[in-house]
Structure 1
């Protein structure tokens, strides 16, 4: 298992150019609670937009797939393919509080945009794919390479350990399978063109380790599966097999039915639509599902309303929490 040690007490501003960041996130518009265990909440998820969230637990803040472009800004998504943002993020990048680490599912401009790449401080810890690590650390001008990048393949894990008293706070991150492009001719063509980058999902376990003991002392208190940008592929079936008899408390599912080159010319879908989202809920069986990545760009073919309808038809409305930008979800880590 790989290791990353951080000290949340001395976390510095996340960007290079803004030195006066706020100490905390802004007040959420709406707060939802974990329905099966409400009360005594000690952790939260704040939704910024797209696949960008902030997980906060015991003073530790993890930022997922940072995308802080504004409405009207464009991103490059592949050869001859662009997307336009149609929403604003809940907060702007200069308003971010201290961040301890970034979980980056893949190196794509709607998940790690040019503004983010230019702004983040170079020693901010980033956990990501091998492809993204290479993009962030190689071929850069002097002083521009990111210096604290950890890559995880499928089923590789990293223990993010935070100094503390007694039982130390720790977060275990495990890479899970993900595929933008299904097997077959399109996959072979993508390998040649390098049009759509490889992607990870994550299993994030919030918990602790006993002081002075090794990785085997890690105890999970709340388990979160983040699907990443993937389709419903066979490789995902390994997730419930590996986590058999282990509760998955929350699933963050990337939806939208992203199509390229555009919804008007839907040649290839590269993220789940509503139908596949329901299939993933059935496969993973999380206690709670929160959909993200569904309406921030003009490349989405399957709106959130499609997923809501499918959830109602499946009789699963009590298993889904819907967050808008600047909403938060609070829960209890045991």
Structure 2
């Protein structure tokens, strides 16, 4: 019997991403720059598009997962907490309303630079969203017609299986069924100690999850989750600092390869760029520590240079690593 929650994704339904779609688009636009890994492989079956900030779109086996949707433009402001605002410095690679079908959203935390107000107002209410209990409480408790109806919350180390329904037009005999196992990983947006205790009380900075995504297959949609065979593993750090809890990653996955890491950087400082008193996301130095700890095959830095509260640019991480 399955021990984790199962959610069925059916891409063939072709449901629009937004409540009032402006146009029908079936594919993502071509990227400004494309890199292949492994560079010599001819059988790639997945792609990852970087949109900006922490927004990416993973496409595999007919489904698209979007992380931390933020589509504000340069000059737009976000509210990040009591007395804390930030200005976006760059435009996203694509506009929200120009996106094709998205099958699910992975939301690391309920913060405007990861889930902006236009995104919140525009997304289809039945769109599956996987996030924190804090985010679910906000997204599911709105008035009738405004509440999101398919929000799944995961506490640290809890997992959820996204079963992918095969395309009914496929004539091939299915022997394996694609699925994505999502596991919530530790993350802390505020340094441990008195500041964290105060933040827990006043809820100025929301709790955050990282994610471990395992792309793989089951022998049937009815197969128990322990029959799942992972073929590719992606770790997404979320907006965390380098904390002791992250040491669980090599402890839990020491005998399992981590193929790709998406690492949130930026060295975000609050209350703002003119008064950088507290760092709440990893800078280049902490990012290098996490890179050495996790030891993935590939690392893709995200969440950098997009907002004026980011004090650690991408070039610092490149130089450090």
Asked if TM exceeds 0.5, the reply is yes
Whole-Å separation in 2 of the counterparts to 1:289 and 1:113:
26
Whole-Å separation in 2 of the counterparts to 1:205 and 1:37:
23
2:13 matched to 1:10? yes
Whole-Å separation in 2 of the counterparts to 1:263 and 1:39:
45
* 3-state SS of 1:258 partner: strand
Q: Is the 8 A contact 1:74 1:84 kept in 2?
A: yes
1:232 is matched with which residue? Answer: 242
Whole-Å separation in 1 of the counterparts to 2:94 and 2:33:
15
2:54 matched to 1:45? no
Q: Is the 8 A contact 1:179 1:199 kept in 2?
A: yes
Q: Is the 8 A contact 1:102 1:127 kept in 2?
A: yes
| Structure 1 unaligned blocks of 5 or more | 312-334
2:296 is matched with which residue? Answer: 286
Whole-Å separation in 1 of the counterparts to 2:61 and 2:265:
29
Alignment of 1:54-65 (within 5 A): 54-65=57-68
Whole-Å separation in 2 of the counterparts to 1:102 and 1:19:
20
2:169 is matched with which residue? Answer: none
1:97 is matched with which residue? Answer: 100
1:145 is matched with which residue? Answer: 147
Structure 2 length normalisation: TM-score? 0.95
Whole-Å separation in 1 of the counterparts to 2:240 and 2:296:
17
Q: Is the 8 A contact 1:69 1:85 kept in 2?
A: yes
Number of residue pairs aligned between Structure 1 and Structure 2 = 310
Alignment of 1:83-162 (within 5 A): 83-138=86-141, 140-162=142-164
Question: For 1:190, which of 188, 199, 209 is the aligned residue?
Answer: 199
Whole-Å separation in 1 of the counterparts to 2:320 and 2:41:
26
2:272 is matched with which residue? Answer: 262
Q: Is the 8 A contact 1:153 1:175 kept in 2?
A: yes
* 3-state SS of 2:136 partner: helix
Deviations 1:109-150 (A, max 9, x none): 000000000000000000000000001011x12200000000
Alignment of 1:160-199 (within 5 A): 160-164=162-166, 165-199=174-208
Whole-Å separation in 1 of the counterparts to 2:232 and 2:253:
13
Q: Offset at 1:184?
A: 0.8
Q: Offset at 1:169?
A: 1.1
2:74 matched to 1:71? yes
Whole-Å separation in 2 of the counterparts to 1:46 and 1:293:
14
Q: Is the 8 A contact 2:22 2:97 kept in 1?
A: no
Greater displacement, 78-87 / 183-192: 183-192
1:249 is matched with which residue? Answer: 259
Deviations 1:25-70 (A, max 9, x none): 0011111112476331110000000000000001110000000111
Q: Offset at 1:307?
A: 0.5
Q: Is the 8 A contact 1:64 1:104 kept in 2?
A: yes
Whole-Å separation in 1 of the counterparts to 2:190 and 2:268:
11
| Structure 2 unaligned blocks of 5 or more | 167-173
1:315 is matched with which residue? Answer: none
Whole-Å separation in 1 of the counterparts to 2:274 and 2:41:
43
2:24 is matched with which residue? Answer: 21
Q: Is the 8 A contact 2:267 2:282 kept in 1?
A: yes
Whole-Å separation in 2 of the counterparts to 1:269 and 1:47:
24
